[in-house]
Amino acid sequence: MKYFILVLCFFLLGINPLTAQQQKVSPKDLKDLYEIMSGSFSSEAQSLEDPEFFHISLIIQPIWKDAKDGYWLYVEQAMASSPEAPYRVRVYHLYKEDAYTLVSQVYEIQDEARFAGKIKDPGILTSLNKDMLTHKEGCGIFLRKTGKRQFEGSTRDQDCPSNLRGASYTTSKVKLDKNGMTSWDQGWNTQGEQVWGSTKGGYRFDKVKK
């Protein structure tokens, strides 16, 4: 009876009782996350609605498909006007950390210029190997399941160091579903003051190609 009343209260308040507490994650959820993140994304619609947001292109390409330790993705993010010159090149490693948590671990690429702008060149990507990666300590995204094929998460505390434009650390918040993702990166100084990144909210990347 108490459980029924609690569930009724959730619905009256507009809260999904399944997301009011942590949901367990399975290997299928990890695969769902991988499929959601793979593809081409664009913030064009948001940039047309609000000129404070730039038109950015984000392409995420699966690599090392035979890996047994989760899923690996090669990532390029660029101004839509110059996709051949990405300002961010990364590798993400997706894996299940515990019963409730999925992780998107972040890696930089040594000799990044060799790969930047060549995401559509399969010959280049096949030459990429794990020995070329540098782990960005503290910058992984820890995700929880919030619904069917829906996830959200962030970096932890002040764990991700940054020296960009006077920052001491950076935080990242992400929401993902089948339609795309929202990503909010912010840089903070030692006094906890924001020194770069959007103050209005995250960039909305609509999925334009699977």
For each successive 10 residues of the chain (210 residues), what is the average pLDDT? 45 44 93 97 97 95 95 96 94 97 97 90 88 96 97 96 93 97 96 92 91
Residue 51 lies in a domain: yes
Residue 12 lies in a domain: no
Domain that holds residue 155: 21-205
For the CA atoms of the chain, what is the radius of gyration? 18
Residue 11 lies in a domain: no
Q: Residue 178 belongs to a domain with what CATH number? A: 2.40.128.590
Would you say 1 and 9 are in contact if contact means Cβ atoms under 8 Å apart? no
Write down the pTM of the prediction: 0.87
Q: What is the pLDDT of residue 177?
A: 97
Q: How far apart are CA 43 and CA 54, in angstroms?
A: 7
Residue 5 lies in a domain: no
Residue 156 lies in a domain: yes
Q: Return the exposure string of 21-51: e unless at least 16 CB atoms fall within 10 Å of the residue's CB, then b.
A: eebebeeebbebbbebbbbbbbbbebbeeee
Residue 16 lies in a domain: no
Q: What is the pLDDT of residue 8?
A: 44
Residue 82 lies in a domain: yes
Residue 53 lies in a domain: yes
State how many domains the chain has.
1
Q: What is the pLDDT of residue 9?
A: 47
Q: What is the pLDDT of residue 7?
A: 41
